[in-house]
Structure 1
């Protein structure tokens, strides 16, 4: 059993969480810059980018288990003292990313127009969206390889290399966009090609680092069909978890859309703010994945529980601080997004609920990371499906009472309706938190050994 000196546990957590946080924050900031470049081409191009990027990110995020699941498996091997086993497990996950990426890329390119048409955008925006999605689909294999390689490095307790790769990748993306969109006059197609080139470069850099680890550990680089298939099967529970979570987010947006343009616009911004705050809390979740997997791989349950307790406290207090900060500016933030007074009012009301729910979010995201690190994917999948089933009656009740909540459709009614929807969404987080609390207080998640 490993006994840590006072303060050492905190330093280990910070050593993983801080670079992870910076990498997570870098992505939305550079994506905003990307949108600004396209936005100066025209409204149609920007709308097309919105449709295409939503489709592209959905296709990639469905396979986030390539990062999360790989982190858990690799960290367990590290804890068990097998660097070679850790790296070979990561290589199997990377080969799986190549296979999945190829299939998804071809399917997305062939179905680009029908997929974009589902959003109901104008014909002009549809044309731009189809062009962008068809070209950028070529970068999907690189996106998935980057996810897998990042998961391997996190499992090896290295979050600095993914940070460097993220900053380099997103910076080059901006430079390429400026050169291709404006310099060569390729328009939105230039932005798509810039994205593909940047993603490929980022994935290549991460793979180079992974190969160095493999050579140092004496690990085989060739794919092992049986282990690659096992990696795919292992990822299914996390895929189910992600699908259920996406369903919850989509049905919430659907209810907001039924309330009218003003609540929908305000909801989109509130959801963006919520997502941005999640990036900060998710850094602790990434540290939780790596540290939990390593501790359980070493057979050290007390260390896993100690780190969990520390990170949960940090998550809750971090969420509380973020909540207080958001409350202090909840009437100021809306002005940065819209000039519409009705949208501002609805958004300000929603942000109050978002702020109050941040301590709960801190708990949920940290424990989610702990359970992913423990390889508790099957339970996570079941819990998310149960959460979806329990949440649907709540959110559908809000949908059914939308007319009463909106009243005469004035500003006050729109703010009230959106606030109630966000209270319902917070109930989803509360259900998830209750299930997580029940699970983590027991011992069934804390399975030790090099493999779960």
Structure 2
């Protein structure tokens, strides 16, 4: 493949994912604005309900991360019958897991919400919000599966189109149901569920149309092998997600033991950090497909032009993020919040934040590459170990200085391990 075609292939598989990752938090902000228009109790209830909802579904990210590279491998090797069975199996598993998850959230919503110790009024609102929103969970997971399959088939634009459908329908329905028809927080929750029903139907219909073009039934499929692959990869990513979620929750919770200003600052810093790495995250998600396809066709990824280009692109992004955040972090904080929080940003915290983006960019890229190389066990283990390193490092530094800088030093150490181990894993046969 020529350098021009390589760059085009990377770009075409990356930009729809980048726009999707950027659009998701924007829709959440609009949702929060509608909630705040009603009253502060509704906003608090939505915040609690969303936290429980997204922490709960994050553990099912394997429906996306484990699916895309395997689909790419099967398509590149022209194993169409096995591919079609894998898609059907994943679709059924997504709906089943979604229904079980919905049932669990409905049964234990009171317990989960009580962990936040809200007022009685907020508890009632958050409970109704979580139950109504959980109804759309099977469709959320179905949409996640369908778009992941389509990315593996090199149709990443459907992920973006699906996100636009969710965003636009959610915003319109939230306003109409919550404000115009005065359903309040229940209207916001119902709007979310309906939007994922619409999006799941769209992405699944597109997938079925593409499958019909390639369908063949003349090859026997080892169903046991396919289902084993699904759960084998899923198990490792499931465990990995648990550790990563706990570590990120730890970074927030330890900040909550400091001053009110530091709690607010840590929240904003993590939001900015999440937004900063979407550029590399989009590249990493695209790499799942590109690396898997390259490995299947040409076998040797280690010495490939694709590897060199992905590394070069990540280096440019990471250096740009480091320089920009090191210079303008306090300005960004002031623009988002107020001047008092911006004044809490000292030189040490600014550099530590920038380093986390510099180092983390490569750690995130290796995630996508390892999945593309079918190294899900290594992908999982390096995140588990890095999370443990992060826990230990943060606790150690906090014993000497109970500041946000201690938490960000611990995060950086965990990312250093994740980056180094990820690099070594991807070059190992």
TM-score range for the pair, normalised by the shorter chain length: over 0.9
Unpaired runs of 5+ in structure 2? Answer: none
Residue 105 (structure 1) shift? 0.6
1:277 and 2:272 correspond: no
Equivalent positions of 1:258-277 (< 5 A) are 258-277=257-276
Deviations 1:318-363 (A, max 9, x none): 121122222332122122333361x333356644422233221221
Q: 1:295-374 alignment to 2 at 5 Å? A: 295-302=294-301, 305-339=304-338, 341=340, 343-347=341-345, 350-374=349-373
Note the 1:92-241 alignment, pairs <5 A: 92-218=89-215, 226=224, 227-228=226-227, 230-241=229-240
Give the alignment's TM-score, normalised by structure 1: 0.89
Post-superposition Cα deviations, 1:21-48, rounded to whole Å, max 9, x if no partner, equal 0111111111111111111111111111
**In 2 relative to 1, CA 303–382 (structure 1 residues): closer, same or farther, beyond 3 Å?**
closer
How far is the alpha carbon of 1:78 from its aligned partner?
A: 1.5
Distance 2:313 2:411 in 1: 23
Counterparts of 1:198 and 1:391 in 2: how far apart (Å)?
37
Shift of 1:303: 8.0
Q: What CA deviation, in whole Å up to 9, does each residue of 1:382-426 have, x standing for no partner?
A: 22222233222211113323xxx35xxxxxxxxxx2123212211
SS at match of 2:197: helix
TM-score scaled to structure 2, two decimals?
Answer: 0.94
Residue 8 (structure 1) shift? 1.2
Contact 1:96 1:232 in 2 (8 A): no
Aligned mates of 1:75, 1:206 — CA distance in 2: 18
- Is residue 27 from structure 1 mapped to residue 13 from structure 2 by the alignment? no
* Cα distance change of structure 1 residues 355 and 160 upon mapping to structure 2, 3 Å threshold: same
Q: Superposition RMSD on alpha carbons, in Å?
A: 2.0
2:419 matches 1:433: yes
**Partner-residue secondary structure (3-state), 1:301:** coil
Q: Tell me, in whole angstroms, the C-alpha distance in 1 between the residues paired with 2:222 and 2:147.
A: 20
Unaligned runs of 5+ in 1: 407-416, 444-452
Q: 1:229–1:101: structure 2 CA closer, same or farther, 3 Å change rule?
A: farther
Q: Deviations over 1:111-163 (max 9, x none)?
A: 11111111222222222211110100001111111111111011001111111
**CA distance in 1: counterparts of 2:29 and 2:216, whole angstroms:** 40
Distance 1:255 1:303 in 2: 40
Say whether 1:63 aligns with 2:60.
yes
> In terms of mean alpha carbon deviation, does 301-310 or 51-60 score higher?
301-310
